[in-house]
Structure 1
Amino acid sequence: MGTLLPTSTAEHEKSEKHNPSIQIQQQKDVDAGALFVLKSKGSWVHCGYHLTTSIVAPALLSLPYAFTMLGWTAGIFCLVIAAMVTFYSYNLLSLVLERQAQLGNRQLRFRDMARDILGPKWGRYFVGPIQFGVCYGAVVACALLGGQCMKAIYVLSNPNGTMKLYEFVTIFGCFMLILAQIPSFHSLRHINLVSLVLCLLYSACAAGGSIYIGNSSKGPEKNYSLKGDTENRLFGVFNALSIIATTYGNGIIPEIQATLAPPVKGKMFKALSVCYTVVCVTFFSVAISGYWAFGNESEGLILSNFVDNGKPLLPKWFIYMTNGFTIVQLSAVGVVYLQPTNEVLEQAFGDPKSPEFSSRNVIPRVISRSLAITVATIIAAMLPFFGDINSLIGAFGFMPLDFVLPVIFFNLTFKPSKRSPIFWLNVTIAVVFSTLGAIATIAAVRQIVIDGKNYQLFANV
């Protein structure tokens, strides 16, 4: 039986009147995490804001770098296929959630879906830990990237400054510490609207800056050849696939759909349509313009290409503005991906029988969330090479959560005929992306081992 809220579906409410056991189960299953963090009050527009913040994040600024390992044809092909498959799989996931809600079994969390569809061990030992690792890893990555953007502004304005990267990561972590206290996922809707605007702004700046440099004589000579020997090129392809999977990754579709006020039917498709309109505008403009301008010299973060040996290739105010937009949106992204952690902490330490803002719930909430952000900030400051680890998270986490499990859930829930095209399309997606995920995981581990010789804790990179 999935976790249920008082605001369940109309079908479920109707069945409750005739089945007292459902009422007992509902009271048993309501927990503080679901009750306080995953409030079902939002509209499809709010859901679109949440989706956009969780997908259209500064990770998209690494897409030109992914192209350096794929080239033009393969790069654009992979970007298109990933967009089509994730849009398709997210809609399938939404349909499964709607179907379960119609059956009186509204599922609010990814692990609830796995438990009810695949069995309790899948939810507890596979999907739950992977989702937690992916989402918390995203929080760490946001803290690190926020610190790097802050340092970029500092170095440009004060080339002889002595502040280190870990100091900027700490400053950014303090900012996230404040935002982390926002009580529920639904409460983030206005922040995520601002986030949507910001991602459009910094993507436009990144694309415009790349085009300006590419048309001038300031940038590097354009070279689109693939670097390295055959072995490095092969593993580079799978590293690039991990980057693209991470960029399109979400991992919290059930939690986002849980913020919708019932009935939820059809709302997620509208929200996903809004989100993927923004995805197409931002992802393709940044990837194509960045790779066109800098070729195989594209950096892991395309904004790094705007400065060459300490010399800005664009007006300083433009670089400051672009990094500023990125920093502010990163804080929203980090808080969105903190929500599964918040829900787990609230479930463990909160009391659903006490008011949400009673001292019984507020004190544990502030302490636990502050500790979660503090730990993430320390990890980001200690491991400034987290990008390699993030590739591993993308391969091992986002691939199964966003590409494989949705099609499996759909086939098991709706049981389409084995003669139908949708059945075999889903099977093909599951097999192909399971294989790619396994190989990409190996490639990510290999890259960590290779780069491990140069790793230093609290390095000022």
Structure 2
Amino acid sequence: MTAHNNNGGSMSDEKRAAIAPMEVSMEAGNAADAEWLDDDGRPRRTGTLWTASSHIITAVIGSGVLSLAWAIAQLGWVAGPAAMLIFAFVTYYTATLLAECYRTGDPETGKRNYTYMDAVRSNLGGARVTFCGVIQYANLVGVAIGYTIASSISMQAIRRAGCFHDKGHGNPCKSSSNPYMILFGLVQILFSQIPDFDQIWWLSIVAAVMSFTYSSIGLGLGIAQTISNGVIKGSLTGISVGVGVSSTQKIWRSLQAFGDIAFAYSFSNILIEIQDTIKAPPPSEAKVMKKATSLSVATTTIFYMLCGCMGYSAFGNDAPDNLLTGFGFYEPFWLLDVANVAIVVHLVGAYQVFVQPIFAFVERRANAAWPNSAFIAKELRVGPFALSVFRLTWRTAFVCLTTVIAMLLPFFGNVVGLLGAVSFWPLTVYFPVEMYIKQRKVPRGSVKWICLKTLSFCCLVVSIAAAAGSIADVIDALKVYRPFSG
């Protein structure tokens, strides 16, 4: 996020000292501009319930929604939908706890925590701050790589859908994903020059609309296929052990399915950063964020249930791992093209939502280390873009790095699943619970304390189990690994 080097003479040393260590947004110290500043001396935030909701929906409803039919196929009609509802509730509840930690002290006038790490630092401190940072940023980098791969798969699917239509379903219609990854990377280099969350609200809204578009198409095709079948496929317990599926595979796949569903809801690693875009009280940022969370999680859950269940009813235990790119459907090919274009557009926005905290972290550190450097602070504004030599250099390098890794490891989606498994418990459950207990001074041994600790422990078990399933997947992928084989 942008950081100008224009410390006005009217700002006191004490106020400057209070602001500088946490510098994330523009700093302006001109008293004449007070009406344009928030209580922390930064430009007034303009985010609303709707922009916050669009950021969350963009982050949560990824193309992973299309793999939920496969997840339900592993678990069956009973455990699959039940797991979705349970994880929806857990995510919503822990997100409301985390929203309370945006300000330390008074919910309307207390000190702001601009990032997830700031919240952990204010409430818990010590080694847990470093632990949080490592987990959070590793997860965000992994997501960026995973989205690069996912977008190339959708772009490949557009080409293959036309090929299948022209040459028949028996034609392999193979192509390399590398050119598509490079194209996605070039687009991200452009959009990465938008300085911060406040400036990409329109991109999030476009991405959210796209997510509804391809989810609706997947849902519609699932309904049409179910009607065509004349029967609802699937079973109460999902794929059964037998021909082609060993008991060990059934266990690993079930664990991976639980992991897929759990992590499909995860957005806690960027919740505080999204909350920092909401305009100042009243109402408090926490109240607005809680409403945005409830709206977003409810919307997400409805779409997840519809898409997952209708995909499973259409294909039963043969549900592909992606309804639109795994070619559960071949026709109408033009509708599949529309859906996959929507996925790519959505991932362009979602990539930016997830990498903005990384950009802000590095640029905040650079500004603190070299506050008078023109290389870092001097910038040229062109529409929504803020161009500086440092931002152009470092953000371009980051996008290039994630693109090369995606090309090097085309199975990295499995590794991202592992990163998600490792980060789900600490970021979505552990830190929100611990910070809430500390901030609200929940008495040790009380009913509420016991319930919160039990929730945290149960989610730890799920996280470990899902990590085990993901590790098994990575090992299988490594057996046939060839670099740049996409």
Q: Same fold judged by TM-score > 0.5?
A: yes
Conservation of the 8 A alpha-carbon contact between 2:260 and 2:417:
yes
Deviates more, 1:227-236 or 1:348-357: 348-357
Counting only pairs closer than 5 Å after superposition, residues 200-349 of structure 1 correspond to structure 2 as 200-217=212-229, 224-227=238-241, 228-250=245-267, 251-263=269-281, 264-307=285-328, 312=330, 314-349=331-366
After superposition, the Cα gap between the structure-2 partners of 1:358 and 1:178, relative to the gap in structure 1 and judged at 3 Å, is closer
> Aligned pair 1:425/2:451, yes or no?
yes
Conservation of the 8 A alpha-carbon contact between 1:34 and 1:343:
no
CA deviation after TM superposition for structure 1 residue 273, in Å = 2.5
Counting only pairs closer than 5 Å after superposition, residues 335-374 of structure 1 correspond to structure 2 as 335-350=352-367, 357=379, 362-374=388-400
Partner of 1:148: 153
Partner of 2:112: 106
CA deviation after TM superposition for structure 1 residue 184, in Å = 1.1
Instruction: Please give the alpha-carbon distance, in whole angstroms, between the structure 2 residues aligned to 1:405 and 1:413.
Output: 12
Of 50, 54, 76, the residue aligned with 2:55 is 50
CA deviation after TM superposition for structure 1 residue 411, in Å = 1.0
CA deviation after TM superposition for structure 1 residue 267, in Å = 1.1
Q: Which residue type is aligned with residue 106 of structure 1?
A: R
Q: Secondary structure at the match of 1:304?
A: coil
CA deviation after TM superposition for structure 1 residue 24, in Å = 5.2
> Aligned pair 1:72/2:77, yes or no?
yes
Partner of 1:135: 140
Q: Which residue type is aligned with residue 386 of structure 1?
A: F
Instruction: Please give the alpha-carbon distance, in whole angstroms, between the structure 1 residues aligned to 2:63 and 2:231.
Output: 22
After superposition, the Cα gap between the structure-2 partners of 1:245 and 1:162, relative to the gap in structure 1 and judged at 3 Å, is closer
Conservation of the 8 A alpha-carbon contact between 1:44 and 1:271:
yes
After superposition, the Cα gap between the structure-2 partners of 1:55 and 1:101, relative to the gap in structure 1 and judged at 3 Å, is farther
Of 469, 472, 475, the residue aligned with 1:446 is 472
Q: Which residue type is aligned with residue 271 of structure 1?
A: A
Q: Secondary structure at the match of 1:156?
A: helix
After superposition, the Cα gap between the structure-2 partners of 1:414 and 1:319, relative to the gap in structure 1 and judged at 3 Å, is same
Deviates more, 1:115-124 or 1:212-221: 212-221
CA deviation after TM superposition for structure 1 residue 101, in Å = 5.8
Deviates more, 1:52-61 or 1:113-122: 113-122
Number of residue equivalences: 439
> Aligned pair 1:173/2:185, yes or no?
yes
Instruction: Please give the alpha-carbon distance, in whole angstroms, between the structure 1 residues aligned to 2:296 and 2:232.
Output: 34
Gaps of 5+ in 2: 5-10, 29-41, 165-170
After superposition, the Cα gap between the structure-2 partners of 1:178 and 1:299, relative to the gap in structure 1 and judged at 3 Å, is same
Conservation of the 8 A alpha-carbon contact between 1:55 and 1:249:
yes
After superposition, the Cα gap between the structure-2 partners of 1:299 and 1:183, relative to the gap in structure 1 and judged at 3 Å, is same
> Aligned pair 1:194/2:199, yes or no?
no
> Aligned pair 1:459/2:477, yes or no?
no
CA deviation after TM superposition for structure 1 residue 139, in Å = 1.0
C-alpha distance after superposition, 1:165-216 (max 9, x if no partner): 1111111221222111111111111111122221111111001111212222
Instruction: Please give the alpha-carbon distance, in whole angstroms, between the structure 1 residues aligned to 2:429 and 2:97.
Output: 11
Partner of 1:12: none
Q: Secondary structure at the match of 1:303?
A: coil
Q: Secondary structure at the match of 2:279?
A: coil
Report sequence identity in percent: 24
Instruction: Please give the alpha-carbon distance, in whole angstroms, between the structure 1 residues aligned to 2:56 and 2:234.
Output: 35
More helix by share: 1
Instruction: Please give the alpha-carbon distance, in whole angstroms, between the structure 1 residues aligned to 2:51 and 2:88.
Output: 22
CA deviation after TM superposition for structure 1 residue 281, in Å = 2.5
After superposition, the Cα gap between the structure-2 partners of 1:62 and 1:100, relative to the gap in structure 1 and judged at 3 Å, is farther
Gaps of 5+ in 1: 6-16
After superposition, the Cα gap between the structure-2 partners of 1:54 and 1:219, relative to the gap in structure 1 and judged at 3 Å, is same
After superposition, the Cα gap between the structure-2 partners of 1:169 and 1:35, relative to the gap in structure 1 and judged at 3 Å, is farther
Deviates more, 1:447-456 or 1:32-41: 32-41
Instruction: Please give the alpha-carbon distance, in whole angstroms, between the structure 1 residues aligned to 2:99 and 2:215.
Output: 28
After superposition, the Cα gap between the structure-2 partners of 1:293 and 1:363, relative to the gap in structure 1 and judged at 3 Å, is same
Output the aligned Cα RMSD. Answer: 2.9
Counting only pairs closer than 5 Å after superposition, residues 408-423 of structure 1 correspond to structure 2 as 408-418=434-444, 420-423=446-449
> What TM-score do the two structures reach when normalised by structure 1?
0.87
C-alpha distance after superposition, 1:251-279 (max 9, x if no partner): 11111111112222411112113212321
Conservation of the 8 A alpha-carbon contact between 1:42 and 1:260:
yes
Conservation of the 8 A alpha-carbon contact between 1:198 and 1:325:
yes
Q: Secondary structure at the match of 1:456?
A: coil
Instruction: Please give the alpha-carbon distance, in whole angstroms, between the structure 2 residues aligned to 1:112 and 1:232.
Output: 42
Conservation of the 8 A alpha-carbon contact between 1:207 and 1:286:
yes
Conservation of the 8 A alpha-carbon contact between 1:115 and 1:121:
no
Deviates more, 1:231-240 or 1:320-329: 231-240
Q: Which residue type is aligned with residue 434 of structure 1?
A: L
Conservation of the 8 A alpha-carbon contact between 1:114 and 1:127:
yes
